Structures are given as structure tokens and as C-alpha cells.
């Protein structure tokens, strides 16, 4: 009987992995925003078209990547965030598995332009379905500019099951709110179909909450600050009349772990 087990081609393996990592436009935005935060950005701009179905662009002023790193970033399990098994027990970044860009490139058209501050030129890379189609040196500001177009263009069954633009936009807003509320020291903007939806300068937590949820929340926020031997809690909660029948407006951010914590 002939052998029947064989290794899958990288292109197919990437598409399978993409199904686990990338479920909708909001999944792409989550990965790209978190990468920008991990890159030390102080300004992050998110530009989307047709609720991310046509185009998603994230521009940051972070540390950027070298030419070699820019190309390696699209390989599966290629990451700068861990180097050994011991690193898994002290992760301080938003992501670490090295699957996001490879998964995105497997099911979309991706254009990446990145430059480190000490370099004179930037690296521009174009990917289609996991295949490198173009790589060149260009002029660009320090940081990274990545555009994802035609999501699921080569997986029509997945694209067919995307929801309406308002529903997909709602999921995108949830991800944008989560990242922007957790990183008040970063200037965020969001544009949809040419219109600026959010303009969130660097601020304190209360100002960021008002910028995201509206100034009408100003009189409805109650500050909390409690510390125990196990943990410390600080932030804001809403008055009872702001309560909703879902968890969508509950955001928790872990910032410090006490050595005495008991689990």
C-alpha cells in the first residue's frame, strides 16, 4: 500500500492557519494595531474602507524593521518577541506566535513599507496569497505603513459569510476601543470611507474614555482605586443608568502582578 501522508505546501498551510487567526476584518485590525503598539509607536492611524472589506491601512511611527526583518515577518512562526521556551513565562508584548502577518498575507493583497530611524531608505514589500510579488527600496518616514486589500480574495467561501458593513464595522470599533483605551499614551485616529471617526490625542484615562464613549459620560464615571495583598484595581466604572445588557463596554487591562498573588 503506498504512503499517503505528505507535507502540505506552505501556501495551503498558511491558508489553514489564516482560518484560525483571521476570521473577519476586525481580526486583521487587532493584529496590526497590536503590532504597532509593540513597535513602540506614539502615533497610530487606522484607515479603513467598506468596513475593512476593501482596504485596511495602519500607519505608525514605531521603530520599523530592517529589510531582512520585513521579509521574514511574513514567514510562519517568525517573531522578534520570544527566543526560547523560557520567554513564554515572561511575555510582555501583545503577541508572540509570529502567525499574524503570514496568515493575513495568505488571504489578502498586502503592501508593507517600513523604515528604521537610522536608515536612509525604507523597504517596500508586496505580497499576494503568501507569494512575494515585489520588493524594493523607497522613500518613507520612519515607522511602518501596512495596507491589506481584498480580504479573502482567494477564499470566496469565507468572504461570502462576512456580515454587512455596519456589523463588520461594529466589530472593528470594538477592537479599536480595546486597544486605544489600554494605551492612553498613544495618539490614535480612525478614518472610515474618508471620514475621521476618532481623533484621540495622548491623554489620561478619563479623557480617553470620554473621547471613545462620548462627553455625555463625563458626569457618569465613578473613579475606583483599591489595593489588596493580591491585586490592585484602578480605573472608572459607570453609574447604574449606564449599564447595558452585554459585556461589550467592559474593559479590563492587567498592568501589574503582585508577587504575593495567590491563584
Residues 6+ away with beta carbon under 8 Å from 255: none
In a domain, 3, yes or no: no
From 77-81, 192-196, 248-252, the region with the lowest mean pLDDT: 77-81
Whether residues 180 and 221 share a domain: the answer is no
- Mean pLDDT within 90-94: 50
pLDDT of 16 reads: 58
Is residue 61, in this structure, part of any structural domain at all? yes
Q: How many CB atoms lie within 10 A of CB 170?
A: 14
Of 178, 202, 226, the position where a domain reaches its end is 202
Examine residue 5 and state whether it is found in any structural domain, yes or no: no
The answer to whether residues 149 and 223 belong to one domain is no
Domain count, the chain: 2
Q: Which of 168, 202, 236 is the last residue of a domain?
A: 202
186 and 260 share one domain: no
Under 8 Å CB-to-CB from 207, ≥6 apart: which residues?
A: 184
What is the spatial distance between Cα 263 and Cα 258, in angstroms, rounded to a whole number? Answer: 11
Helix and strand totals (H; E) in the chain: 7, 10
* 106 vs 192, residue with greater confidence: 192
Of 177, 202, 227, which closes a domain? 202
Instruction: Verify that 187 and 127 share a domain, yes or no.
Output: yes
The pLDDT assigned to 162 comes to 93
pLDDT for the residue numbered 87: 46
pLDDT of 98:
54
36, 81: one domain: yes
Say yes or no: 157 and 192 in one domain.
yes
Residue 86 lies in a domain: yes
Alpha carbon distance 243, 107 (integer Å): 39
Tell me whether residue 209 is in a domain: no
Same domain, 103 and 230: no
How far apart (Å, rounded) are the C-alpha atoms in residues 224 and 65?
40
Residue 58 to residue 144: CA distance in whole angstroms: 8
pLDDT at 248: 74
Question: Residue 152 sits in a domain of what CATH number?
Answer: 3.30.565.10
Domain around 227 = 214-263
pLDDT at 242 over 60: yes
Residue-level pLDDT at 99: 75
Does 207 map to a domain? no
**Choice among 72-76, 138-142, 243-247 with the minimum mean pLDDT:** 243-247
Same domain, 129 and 186: yes
Do 145 and 121 fall within a single domain? yes
The predicted-structure confidence for 157-183, as pLDDT tens digits, reads as follows 888 889 999 999 999 999 999 999 999
Identify whether residues 52 and 116 lie together within a single domain.
Answer: yes
Q: Say whether both 102 and 188 belong to one domain.
A: yes
Average pLDDT, the chain: 85
Q: Which of 78, 117, 104 shows the shortest CA–CA distance to 25?
A: 104
What's this model's pTM, rounded to 2 decimal places?
0.83
- Does pLDDT of 132 surpass 80? yes
56 and 115, same domain (yes or no): yes
Amino acid at each position: 500500500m503506498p504512503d499517503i501522508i505528505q507535507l502540505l505546501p506552505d501556501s495551503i498551510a498558511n491558508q489553514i492557519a489564516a482560518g484560525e487567526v483571521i476570521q473577519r476584518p476586525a481580526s486583521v485590525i487587532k493584529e496590526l494595531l497590536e503590532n504597532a503598539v509593540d513597535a513602540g509607536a506614539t502615533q497610530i492611524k487606522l484607515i479603513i474602507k467598506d468596513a475593512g472589506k476593501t482596504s485596511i491601512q495602519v500607519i505608525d511611527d514605531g521603530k520599523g524593521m530592517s529589510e531582512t526583518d520585513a521579509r521574514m515577518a511574513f514567514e510562519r512562526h517568525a517573531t522578534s518577541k520570544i527566543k526560547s521556551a523560557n520567554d513564554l513565562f515572561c511575555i510582555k508584548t501583545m503577541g508572540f506566535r509570529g502567525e499574524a502577518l503570514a496568515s493575513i498575507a495568505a488571504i489578502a493583497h498586502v503592501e508593507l513599507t517600513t523604515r528604521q530611524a537610522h536608515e536612509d531608505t525604507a523597504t517596500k514589500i508586496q505580497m499576494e496569497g503568501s507569494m512575494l510579488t515585489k520588493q524594493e527600496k523607497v522613500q518613507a518616514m520612519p515607522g511602518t505603513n501596512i495596507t491589506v486589500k481584498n480580504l479573502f480574495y482567494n477564499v470566496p467561501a469565507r468572504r461570502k459569510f462576512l456580515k454587512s458593513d455596519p456589523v463588520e464595522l461594529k466589530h472593528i470599533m470594538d477592537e479599536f476601543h480595546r486597544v486605544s483605551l489600554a494605551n492612553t499614551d498613544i495618539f490614535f485616529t480612525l478614518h472610515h470611507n474618508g471620514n475621521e471617526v476618532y481623533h484621540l490625542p495622548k491623554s489620561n484615562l478619563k479623557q480617553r474614555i470620554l473621547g471613545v464613549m462620548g462627553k455625555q459620560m463625563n458626569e457618569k464615571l465613578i473613579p475606583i482605586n483599591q489595593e489588596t495583598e493580591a491585586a490592585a484595581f484602578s480605573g472608572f466604572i459607570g453609574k447604574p443608568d449606564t449599564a447595558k445588557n452585554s459585556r461589550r463596554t467592559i474593559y479590563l487591562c492587567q498592568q501589574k502582578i503582585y508577587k504575593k498573588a495567590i491563584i
